[in-house]
């Protein structure tokens, strides 16, 4: 078990103003990924939180930075990894859920038959902002009969209220809150 403090972790999150567009303060996780202790701490905190009664057997990672945390977490906990991707990326038959953005809509896709009923799923992404993305991923899991045990993030932008949009019964855990 590694043990970087919140302050040490936050020092490894780089704020990039006006990326990818004006007015967005982008939380860049790459300095944290390059620090083995910090990356391991994030994974350990998530796996410790989702143990015992909250245990999961499948990690659903959201493209693209959710793959980084999700795949590492799945390998570390000996669970399955299932990617949820942006439209047009997955090669085989897939399910699709659309969700609304400030202007227009976007969608996420998951290969059909990725899950079966009885799977206990943890949905993982790097950041939760407004919550629209993770809610679409949760809908995909439910569509395939999986039980969403929780949603885990390295970073929560609490002032955007995403947590409130996540359905009741889904345990929400963020390593770092802003």
Which residues are catalytically annotated?
A: 65, 102
- Least separation in angstroms between residue 52's CB and ligand AMP is 28
**Of the listed pieces 19-27, 30-38, 87-95, 108-116, which binds ligand AMP according to CB under 6 A?**
19-27
What letter does residue 130 receive in the DSSP assignment?
Answer: S
**Which candidate, 57, 146, 147, 55, places its Cα nearest to that of 95?**
146
**Of the listed pieces 50-58, 87-95, 120-128, 170-178, which binds ligand AMP according to CB under 6 A?**
120-128
Burial grade of 171 (CB within 10 A; 0-12, 13-18, 19 or more): middle
**Per CB under 6 A, 62 contacts ligand AMP:** yes
**Per CB under 6 A, 127 contacts ligand AMP:** yes
**Per CB under 6 A, 75 contacts ligand AMP:** no
**Per CB under 6 A, 156 contacts ligand AMP:** no
The DSSP-derived string for 12-48 is TPEEEET-SSTT-EEEE-HHHHT-HHHHHHHHHHHHH
**Of the listed pieces 22-30, 73-81, 89-97, 168-176, which binds ligand AMP according to CB under 6 A?**
22-30
* Integer Cα distance of 73 and 10 in angstroms: 20
Strand segments, DSSP code E, in the chain are 14-17, 25-28, 58-62, 80-84, 94-100, 105-111, 120-128, 147-156, 171-177
**Per CB under 6 A, 125 contacts ligand AMP:** yes
**Per CB under 6 A, 85 contacts ligand AMP:** no
Among 56, 58, 65, 140, binds ligand AMP (CB under 6 A): 65
**Per CB under 6 A, 131 contacts ligand AMP:** yes
């Amino acid at each position: 078990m590694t043990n970087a403090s919140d302050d040490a972790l936050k020092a490894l999150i780089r704020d990039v103003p006006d990326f990818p567009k004006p007015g967005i303060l982008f939380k860049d996780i790459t300095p944290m990924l390059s620090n083995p202790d910090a990356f391991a701490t994030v994974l350990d905190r998530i796996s410790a939180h989702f143990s015992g009664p909250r245990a999961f057997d499948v990690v659903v990672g959201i493209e693209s930075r959710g793959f980084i945390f999700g795949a590492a977490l799945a390998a570390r906990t000996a669970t399955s990894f299932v990617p949820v991707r942006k439209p047009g990326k997955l090669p085989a038959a897939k399910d699709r859920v659309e969700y609304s953005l400030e202007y227009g809509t976007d969608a996420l896709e998951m290969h059909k038959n990725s899950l079966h009923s009885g799977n206990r799923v943890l949905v993982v992404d790097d950041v939760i902002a407004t919550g629209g993305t993770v809610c679409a991923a949760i809908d995909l899991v439910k569509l395939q009969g999986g039980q969403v045990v929780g949603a885990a993030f390295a970073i929560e932008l609490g002032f955007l209220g995403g947590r409130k949009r996540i359905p009741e019964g889904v345990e929400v855990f963020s390593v770092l809150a802003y």
